Structure 1
Amino acid sequence: MDLNYLREFKELAQTLNYAKAASRLYITQSTLSKHINALERELGCRLLDRDRRKVELTEAGRRFAAASMTIIDTFDRMQEELGALEQQEPLRVDGVLYDNTLSSIFSVATMLLESAGLPPVDYSHKAEKDCLDLLMEDEIDIAFSSVSPQECEEAGFVTIPMTRTRFVGLMSKNHPLASRKFLTIDALRDTCLLKFADTYSINGWTIIEQRCKDRGFTPTSRTVLGRNQNNYVTTPVGENEVSILSSNIPQMRFLSEVAPVVALPFTDEDAFFPLYAIYKRDKEEKVRAVMDVYRQARDMVVHRED
């Protein structure tokens, strides 16, 4: 059914005058008459009683007039909503974007956002800036980071737990701890830890350092410059060094087969990197729909991994 014919019938039903209706619609009376006749043929009933002196709605015409108004109003309202949605800027997201579990969550969330008719999310990593600074300056709307909830709360941010990824200790096969099946944080007292000095991993190091301090020691470390999230696992480790990485790094599965290293899991309950979704408290309304989707995607991905 042609929606324009419905609009024309609506106008005629309100005026009950072909000349007035045609004038308001900017069409000829003969065109209007043809369109109304086409509607009646399609519906299989008469909508109007016509004679030379007046036009009246039939019972079917009255019912169809009410229905057509509802249809047109609903369509027009939906067009406005879709237009506003189309013009809405996508939410900007930054931070730890290359974590393997988060990447899966983002992929699922993209499909959920699309199926829900929500705008897409803009993922663009600005390596030169801290993600909390980007949040504070309104350059992004949501950040994914390991920054502690306490620090975020002090800055006026909301934190939503997203993932917990277990520590893995990467070391040379000649390391004194390499013969073990498992590691503990306490066993690292006499070991030098690799400290990656980049904006991407600095929060991870803060967590590692805090776990050590919780056990009464400050870790010895060697700073590694110029690395990025894609090549942490390829950084050479000395014979008394350990690189603490995330267990979900894909290369970890086969690294010991191609390099003289071993990767050992930790048994400590707190030996994990937490990741949070962080946003400004005054942006809560703006990010609510996307955060609901992220939670749904997280539950799907984490449940599958478990």
Structure 2
Amino acid sequence: MDLLQLRYFRTVARLEHMTRAAQELYISQSSLSKTISHLEHELGLPLFDRQGRQIKLNQYGKTFLQRVEQAFAALENGQRELAELTNQEQRRISLASMSVYLLPNLLQAFLKNHTDISIRLFSNPRRETLAQLERGEVDLFISSPPIEVTTVEQTSLMMEEILLAVPQGHWLAERETINLSEVAGEAFLALKPGYRLRELTDTFCQQAGFTPHIVFEGDEPVALLHLVKAGIGIACIPSLVWKSFPEMAVRSLHITEPRCEREMLLLYSKEHYLSSAAREFRDFIITYFAQFNQKRPA
């Protein structure tokens, strides 16, 4: 058994398709099939269930894949740690967040005193980003809500209040607080299904006793704010959006019932090596968000 066999197995297990795996690995399909067969013979167990041209990772394959991933993670961690010890590792960090509005002020504050560090940003769907985190492609992930994955460390950053955004001149614009049930008949703007803020909007409205009448679905809270400003509808918007765009001429109302908030967390893998740059940034993020943990109005 060698690393090449394991790398080939890892690719086939991920794709569950021999032809596509061979194309990705730039080898012939017959060579790849022979390599996988030799590996199974060496282990004394089949790793895939085969039905014609279809292959699917079986229970033995899934168990073995976990150990293979751990082995590659350990090797990659070792390479990065040795490179850092010999000053060969460039000070790079990969950060993921689905809430892009959080990043400009955060990055500006950090990079001001860390000019030797470069940061690569990701903003993929949550499931895809978690997979990147577990593969070691992403160092840090700002996310919500908590997850049940034992290989991922989770640090609570803050409880972020969700506010109701209404346009200037709206019949609620002079109010400071509101019971969400009062806007059951209003047109709502929301993120597309699959986004956490959309799930929260639907849940809060259901708790208030109604299903929101959604007239627009978007990808970014800031886009929703612009449409609220134009009078197209109202929207549930995280409080930090206003701190990022204080000039936005939109009224924000505190929702007293139900309680509307979400927990923001910082996630990172327990199994992948965090460089000194990533550790510095992790600590900075925790301190940075502590300033926003303020009590909301009763």
- Give the TM-score, by structure 2 length: 0.54
One of 269, 285, 292 as aligned partner of 1:294: 285
Show CA shifts across 1:177-219 (max 9, x none): 44533223343444343222277xx111222333334x36353
Summarize the alignment of residues 42-191 of structure 1 with structure 2, pairs less than 5 Å apart. 84-88=86-90, 90-96=92-98, 98-100=100-102, 102-111=103-112, 113=114, 120-127=117-124, 130-146=128-144, 148-149=145-146, 152-154=147-149, 156-172=151-167, 175-191=170-186
Q: When the two structures are aligned, how many residues end up with a matched partner?
A: 211
Letter in 2 for 1:139: E
Aligned to 1:224: 216
Letter in 1 for 2:192: A
Query: Do the aligned residues in 2 keep the contact of 1:135 with 1:142 (CA within 8 Å)?
Result: yes
| 1:233 equivalenced with 2:222 (yes/no) | no
**How far off its partner does 1:228 sit?**
3.4
| CA distance in 1: counterparts of 2:227 and 2:178, whole angstroms | 20
Summarize the alignment of residues 7-18 of structure 1 with structure 2, pairs less than 5 Å apart. none
**How far off its partner does 1:280 sit?**
2.3
Aligned to 2:40: none
Show CA shifts across 1:251-293 (max 9, x none): 864444xxxx643233458323432111223237555454223
| CA distance in 2: counterparts of 1:159 and 1:165, whole angstroms | 16
| CA distance in 2: counterparts of 1:112 and 1:298, whole angstroms | 17
- Give the TM-score, by structure 1 length: 0.53
Aligned to 1:274: 263
CA gap 1:191/1:288 in 2 versus in 1, 3 angstroms: same
Letter in 1 for 2:223: N
Q: Which runs of 5+ in 2 are unaligned?
A: 1-81
Aligned to 1:242: 234
| 1:212 equivalenced with 2:205 (yes/no) | yes
Query: Do the aligned residues in 1 keep the contact of 2:181 with 2:210 (CA within 8 Å)?
Result: no
CA gap 1:224/1:269 in 2 versus in 1, 3 angstroms: closer
| CA distance in 2: counterparts of 1:184 and 1:252, whole angstroms | 25
Query: Do the aligned residues in 1 keep the contact of 2:141 with 2:267 (CA within 8 Å)?
Result: yes
Query: Do the aligned residues in 1 keep the contact of 2:95 with 2:119 (CA within 8 Å)?
Result: yes
Deviates more, 1:180-189 or 1:170-179: 170-179
Q: Secondary structure at the match of 2:292?
A: helix
CA gap 1:154/1:223 in 2 versus in 1, 3 angstroms: farther
RMSD: 4.0
**How far off its partner does 1:294 sit?**
2.3
Aligned to 2:196: 203
Structure of higher CA gyration radius: 1
Letter in 2 for 1:169: L
